[in-house]
Chains A and B, each alone.
Chain A
């Protein structure tokens, strides 16, 4: 907060503070000068070391932030094993191992997007509906603040309030919805509840301005896909690309196809990426690890293709750091976001656009 009481976007690398402070332009994209800097001696654990911004539309606007990182420490909307409430902190932790500079795209994510970390959404233990209401409200603040959202779950019930927020944000237009997951998640309900992590796409389909023709899924596989989930995609004529088809046709073609569907005549896109879409060998730190999934180089390709299209909300879910091995899962999840943002920045720069 500045002296007038307003928050302004000011990125101060942690190494610029304290008695051993050193300052230099672009310190955050260069090797540290005087000491190990924010690389190991971090300041407050924010995503990418970005400034904190209150989850408030006016504060976000005043800061001119174009990306809001919003955590959702919620794992009571799911029916497998708990632990994904620690997902957001896992990604923040992994981001301390990366610089905001990406040599593959020659972009500085920090100065290009002016990202902020809006902290975590408050949740209500034992009450999925009330927690979802908070998620809806906080996502809405970020969108109304003029930013795109990196929404980090939390279990895969998060897209239910998340896509509702995007639907209302574009109430006069249409939205697309993408679901990348090893599960189809299209249960009409689960034991009577329509709002668990099994029903993301089903609830998106219910939204007034989300047409099935602008929805798509990819990466489904194996035996946690009951018949009523499959029937949803077939009966509603919604495009569903199972993992075998991804393997047969290639990640590039399939990724482009689903983004083309989502952006066909729409005003915004909700892109939901469940970490269990990734092969269990590369993503042990997820709620329901599943074999026969995406490998990291395909993950990176998918993220980069997404970056050429963009999305209003990019949600990562089911990351579960306490099942992780040697940080490989949190680092891959973080890498997904960085590769997406790197590709997005390069795309916009090449088009002469700002974020």
Chain B
């Protein structure tokens, strides 16, 4: 840990004009803004680079997740970087490199920009923390990770969502969100045995999705299975698939993994999903892996949200994951630190 670090941020506001409610520039967890360039990012010394991808033209249902990144940033302002459950401090571990500039009605160009932006961040050896946008952003972001590590190294992909997203094509399109996992399974260094999927349920899973998943040997854990066998068992199993012999891991959370009541602010709310506490448990379990190459949240649609609950849950998932990973790496806050003005 940097000995010169100022620890005032660990404590209740001390009268500084930057008080808890003063938003100022809205960045992820009030982290510094750094341009989306590998050199600048490298110089920051941080581990995670937050990037918004306000793209929802891959969405086939309700629109609205373009606004996801901004709501996510605002929600993150209601948290401290200090997480007492893990005894860790996330201050200095992340930067915010803004949103990828997304053109309208030019999905190919949008995907191209997403790809280049994610590659740039990966080139700095940082972990992109991506907030979509619809889940199709994963197609280009995963391709960026795949190309970044090169064909001689392997990557895994772990997805939490209500839908299988295994359409070979949707309405003739290959880059729509229902095609996301199908495209990722085609990446040269993704062995389908290293793909995991947890939470599929209900009737937005057409027959061809199930068949293609089976054909390609993707072992998915439906919501039924998660409930029958227990969340911990299933997540350990799916996580095991993803980390088994891989050099890079992509963690993708579609907010529709949650039960509609726990997360109304999503593009396609789906009954029968995870409860909040189960997602917290999931973040802890995954955090024990210590690291991931990309963390992604998708389909957060604030326009349908109630009292900011879904945005806050999304931010909480990511921050707990980061905190849990920091704990796993043993990056604890010195327990002897106290407010100096109280001595």
Contact = CB atoms under 8 A, between A and B. Distances in A.
B171 A35 contact: yes
Interface in A89-112: 97-104, 106, 108
Contacts of A325: 264, 304, 306
B270 A32 contact: no
Contacts of B208: 30-31
A314 B270 CA distance: 22
Contacts of A66: none
A40 B170 CA distance: 12
B204 A328 contact: no
Nearest to A34: B172
Interface string A96-133: 01111111101010000000000000000000000000
A39 B62 CA distance: 11
A299 interface: yes
Name the residue in A97, A101, A103, A296 with the highest tally of chain B Cβ atoms < 10 Å from its Cβ. A103
A80 B61 CA distance: 34
A36 B63 CA distance: 14
Contacts of B61: 39-40, 97
Interface string A10-52: 0000000000000000100111111111011000000000000
A270 interface: no
A326 B304 contact: yes
Contacts of B168: 31
Interface residues of A, number: 40
B68 to A, nearest CB: 14
Contacts of B207: 26, 29-30, 99, 101, 103, 108
Nearest to A48: B203
A37 B171 contact: yes
A332 B164 CA distance: 19
A100 B269 CA distance: 18
A104 B222 contact: yes
Contacts of B264: 325-326, 328
A100 B261 contact: no
Contacts of B223: 297
B210 A282 contact: no
B170 to A, nearest CB: 5
Contacts of A281: 261
Given A281-B261, A331-B271, A332-B271, A98 B202 contact: yes
A108 B210 CA distance: 13
B259 to A, nearest CB: 5
Nearest to B59: A40
B137 interface: no
A9 interface: no
Nearest to A108: B207
A36 B60 contact: yes
A264 interface: no
Contacts of A335: 202-203, 271-272
Nearest to B200: A103
Interface string B286-322: 0000000000000000001110000000000000000
Contacts of B209: 31, 103
B203 A102 contact: yes
A200 B305 CA distance: 36
A98 B167 contact: no
Contacts of A331: 260, 269-271
B122 to A, nearest CB: 31
Nearest to B262: A281
A29 B208 CA distance: 8
Interface string A61-85: 0000000000000000000000000
B57 to A, nearest CB: 12
A338 interface: yes
A267 interface: no
A102 B178 CA distance: 16
B29 interface: no
A31 B261 contact: no
B206 A296 contact: no
A327 interface: yes
Contacts of A296: 259-261, 271-273
Given A97-B204, A332-B260, A31 B170 contact: yes
B224 interface: yes
Contacts of B260: 282, 296, 326, 328, 331-332
A207 interface: no
Nearest to B223: A297
Contacts of B205: 99, 101, 103
B259 A98 contact: no
B115 to A, nearest CB: 24
A144 interface: no
B204 A99 contact: yes
Given A31-B209, A297-B272, A326-B269, 15 more contacts: A30-B206, A33-B171, A34-B172, A36-B60, A102-B203, A103-B200, A103-B209, A108-B207, A282-B259, A282-B261, A295-B261, A325-B306, A326-B266, A326-B306, A327-B269
Closest 10 pairs (CB-CB, A-B): A328-B260, A98-B203, A326-B304, A282-B261, A326-B264, A31-B167, A296-B271, A332-B271, A30-B208, A29-B207
Interface of A: 26, 29-37, 39-40, 97-104, 106, 108, 279, 281-282, 295-297, 299-300, 325-328, 331-332, 335, 338-339, 342
22 contacts: A30-B208, A32-B171, A34-B171, A35-B171, A39-B60, A97-B204, A99-B203, A101-B205, A101-B207, A104-B222, A108-B207, A279-B261, A282-B259, A296-B260, A296-B272, A300-B272, A325-B264, A325-B306, A326-B304, A331-B270, A335-B203, A335-B271
